[in-house]
Amino acid sequence: MAAAVKVSSVFRKSLFKGKVAIVTGGGTGIGKAITQELLHLGCKVMIASRNIERIQKAAEEMRSTVVPNKPTNLAHMQCNIRKEDNVKDLISSTLKQFGKIDYVVNNGGGQFPSPASNISVKGWNAVIDTNLTGTFIVCREVYNQWMEQNGGVIVNIIADMWKGFPTMSHTGAARAGVDNLTKTLAIEWAPDGVRVNSVAPGSFIYSETAAANYGDSKIFHHMLDVVPVKRLGTPEEVSSCVCYLLSPAASLISGETVKVDGAASLHNTKYEIRVSK
Ligand SMILES: CCC/C=C/C(=O)SCCNC(=O)CCNC(=O)[C@H](O)C(C)(C)COP(=O)([O-])OP(=O)([O-])OC[C@H]1O[C@@H](n2cnc3c(N)ncnc32)[C@H](O)[C@@H]1OP(=O)([O-])[O-]
Ligand SMILES: NC(=O)C1=CN([C@@H]2O[C@H](COP(=O)(O)OP(=O)(O)OC[C@H]3O[C@@H](n4cnc5c(N)ncnc54)[C@H](OP(=O)(O)O)[C@@H]3O)[C@@H](O)[C@H]2O)C=CC1
């Protein structure tokens, strides 16, 4: 028997039914939880990321577990958000397949831990291109190809960089950039009926794929002593916030960043200050 799909039941399906969403990085971790929730609510979803085998496998699994009666509600394609042509193709292919785009969730992203002094320009650029420029290209392209004329909602996933982000300087700078980009786009595009918000998960949302990326299955557990709620967060706790922001319940919320971190960003950071040389 297929494993039960974890989705929250707090949303009315009538609010989402027939809507079309793009979720970048929608085949793993937080992105997969968002995709499953949106499919469960009756949306049609396009998921896209770099690794075609992995996203295809994830799409096949979700078609059989989440929408076995409507497998065509989920489409997938390869897209590296760092590549402008890939993103243009993602938007036009989604429009061709589903006829409209109501929601975009910029979830695809990531980084590698390193002291700032050891980050090469190539590594810095890879992280900035992915998390800041990639998010910008997706936003600009969906606006130009669709939302300028038809409205829509964008949610950008960022990170807990509010107090600086030691060992993650590149992604901290990129995510702070997206926080500000969110505000600017919210103002520029409000007259067209486009809302733009961000969600900032705490650094303790357990995702198998994210842990594998860092080569440390306990990477999120190491955070627990500075996490006020004293437990790991789940991808579903992020996806329910994303769905709220996409929904008409958030119709007057734009240019905002919602922290999903159980107050962790108000408390201490894990980073230990080294002894001066
Ligand atoms: C726990 C905290 C909270 C956060 C949680 C999460 O975000 S969970 C989400 C977790 N999920 C993810 O983060 C998933 C997405 N993340 C990624 O795919 C990568 O982290 C990426 C964004 C750097 C893209 O990488 P790519 O290979 O496609 O990029 P590329 O080939 O174009 O250039 C690569 C250049 O970057 C450098 N460099 C790369 N790795 C390392 C390293 N370990 N060490 C040192 N340096 C590294 C290196 O300079 C390399 O060039 P080289 O020396 O090889 O010529
Ligand atoms: N888990 C956590 O505690 C936190 C996570 N976040 C952020 O949440 C988001 C999801 O992370 P999470 O689910 O935990 O980790 P994952 O590693 O599972 O997710 C990252 C996803 O992004 C996709 N991706 C990465 N680079 C690109 C790219 N250039 N173009 C398109 N897709 C890309 C990956 O797919 P592929 O490899 O196929 O491209 C993958 O599906 C990320 O932005 C992450 O940084 C932020 C704070 C904390």
- pLDDT tens digits, one per residue of 73-126: 999 999 999 999 999 999 999 999 999 999 999 999 999 999 999 999 999 999
- Residue 139 belongs to some domain of the structure: yes
Within a domain: 247: yes
Tell me, yes or no, whether 272 lies in a domain.
no
CA atoms within 13 Å, Cβ hemisphere of 144: 11
Question: How do residues 31-70 score in pLDDT, each as one tens digit?
Answer: 999 999 999 999 999 999 999 999 999 999 999 999 999 9
Substitution candidate for ligand 1 out of 79, 80, 106, 122 with most atoms within 8 A of CB: 122
Q: What is the pLDDT of residue 106?
A: 99
pLDDT of residue 4: 60
CATH code of 238's domain: 3.40.50.720
What ipTM goes with this model? 0.98
Q: What is the model's pLDDT at position 10?
A: 84
Judge if the beta carbon of residue 28 lies within 6 A of ligand 1: no
Q: Of all atoms in ligand 2, which is nearest to the CA of residue 204?
A: 3
Asked if the structure places residue 226 within a domain, the reply is no
What is the domain range of residue 194?
Answer: 20-205+234-261
Among residues of the chain, what percentage have pLDDT more than 90? Answer: 93
Gap from CA of 25 to ligand 1 centroid (Å): 15
pLDDT, residue 33, reads: 97
**What is the tens place of the pLDDT at every residue in 138-195?**
999 999 999 999 999 999 999 999 999 999 999 999 999 999 999 999 999 999 999 9
Ligand 2 atom nearest to 213, measured from its CA: 17
Residues 164 and 18: their CA atoms lie apart, in Å, by 40
The fraction of the chain above a pLDDT of 70, given in percent, is 98
Q: Is the CB of 166 under 6 A from ligand 1?
A: no
Residue 131 lies in a domain: yes
CA 74, 134, 107, 1 dihedral sign is positive
Parallel, antiparallel, or unpaired for β 44-49 and 20-24? parallel
Tell me if 273 is assigned to some domain: no
Model confidence band, residue 6 (pLDDT cutoffs 50, 70, 90): confident
CA–CA gap between residue 33 and residue 7 (Å, rounded):
8
The answer as to whether 10 is a domain residue is no
Instruction: Give the total number of structural domains in the chain.
Output: 1
pLDDT in tens, 228-254: 999 999 999 999 999 999 999 999 999
